[in-house]
Amino acid sequence: MPPKDSLPGTILVATVLCVVCSLAVSAAAVALRPLQAANQKLDQQKNILDAAGIPINEFGKPASQLSRKEIDDLYTWVSEKMVDLDTGDYNTEVDPEKYDLAEFAVNPDTSIEIVNPTIDPGEDRRPKTMKVYFVRRPGSDQLRQVVLPIYGKGLWGTLYGYLALKSDLKTIQGITFYQHQETPGLGGEVDNPAWKAQWEGLQLYNEKGEPSAMVAKGPAPDTDPYAVDGLSGATITSRGVTNLVQYWASDEAYGPFLDKLAEEIKNGSTESSAAKADVKESAINTTANAGDATHG
């Protein structure tokens, strides 16, 4: 072994130290991965609940101020379903528990290229399927809100969030952004509770059925049913939020699904009742099969 104060000795010590530190960091990363995943899931649940306005209505405070048990209890109001964006139909081939929006959006097998969109969200691709969220009070079949994941380019990167619609599917309940790279105090004001509160009650579509909810340039007129105040000093972020909201509300994204959901609500056949019908039919088939086996 070379002397400690020699060049080879110094290199050896440095190498051993680097290897030990690398192993320690790797071990910590592996050990903490489940906790990180759980925290990420919890954060998304909080954003979904906040977009739907449930924590404020039930506890008078945002989800960030609630306990884990309170979040778990409130999230029993939420059911998840995969939706094919092109057809608007429910998709049963993709497991909601294994769905990752960021991965599905870039994988050529699970996404499509956004080409010459009517409203440009600033993204190159979008998933073929999206996970949407239905909000109902436990024990009730009545749909209160539907929460739609949304994303699009801001100034420095992609903003990821949720847009909640009331049961008429035209009125906005709320909006949240759970991940973005916008400048604090400027574009980062998309996280400002006062600014987000302005979205509640806005109309998503105009009288022609065109996506019209937007971020204004400067203060929004009190009589404007489609606009919230612009973000001061953040013109590009404001434009990005407008574009991403309108894009996801268009026929190139959630439009077909919202049309079919509106028809389901009109006919009294929502995702919840349809699921119950499937369960009932399965039970009938199981009973019938058992009877056949008995008689056989």
Instruction: Evaluate whether residue 250 is within a structural domain.
Output: yes
Task: Please report the pLDDT score of residue 283 as a whole number.
Answer: 43
Instruction: Evaluate whether residue 125 is within a structural domain.
Output: yes
Q: How long is the chain? A: 296
Task: Please report the pLDDT score of residue 34 as a whole number.
Answer: 63
Task: Please report the pLDDT score of residue 11 as a whole number.
Answer: 75
Q: Residue 84: which domain range?
A: 78-276
Measure the CA–CA gap between 278 and 262, rounded to whole angstroms: 20
Taking each helix axis from N to C terminus, what angle separates 271-295 and 255-266, rounded to the nearest 10 degrees?
Answer: 70
List CB contacts of 278: < 8 A, sequence separation 6 or more.
Answer: none
Instruction: Evaluate whether residue 119 is within a structural domain.
Output: yes
Q: Which of 111, 135, 109 is nearest to 125 (CA)?
A: 111
Instruction: Evaluate whether residue 33 is within a structural domain.
Output: no
Pairing of strands 125-127, 129-135: unpaired
Task: Please report the pLDDT score of residue 18 as a whole number.
Answer: 79
Instruction: Evaluate whether residue 20 is within a structural domain.
Output: no
In terms of C-beta density within 10 A (0-12 exposed, 13-18 middle, 19 or more buried), how is residue 37 classed? exposed
Per-residue pLDDT of the chain (296 residues; tens, 9 = 90+): 566 667 776 777 777 777 777 777 666 656 655 666 778 889 999 999 999 999 999 999 999 999 999 999 999 999 999 999 999 999 999 999 999 999 999 999 999 999 999 999 999 999 999 999 999 999 999 999 999 999 999 999 999 999 999 999 999 999 999 999 999 999 999 999 999 999 999 999 999 999 999 999 999 999 999 999 999 999 999 999 999 999 999 999 999 999 999 999 999 866 544 444 444 444 444 444 444 444 44
Task: Please report the pLDDT score of residue 14 as a whole number.
Answer: 74
Task: Please report the pLDDT score of residue 29 as a whole number.
Answer: 58
Sign of the dihedral defined by the CA atoms of residues 239, 241, 245, 247, in that order: positive
Task: Please report the pLDDT score of residue 192 as a whole number.
Answer: 95
Task: Please report the pLDDT score of residue 1 as a whole number.
Answer: 58
Instruction: Evaluate whether residue 29 is within a structural domain.
Output: no
| Number of domains forming the structure of the chain | 1
Instruction: Evaluate whether residue 37 is within a structural domain.
Output: no
Task: Please report the pLDDT score of residue 7 as a whole number.
Answer: 72
Instruction: Evaluate whether residue 27 is within a structural domain.
Output: no
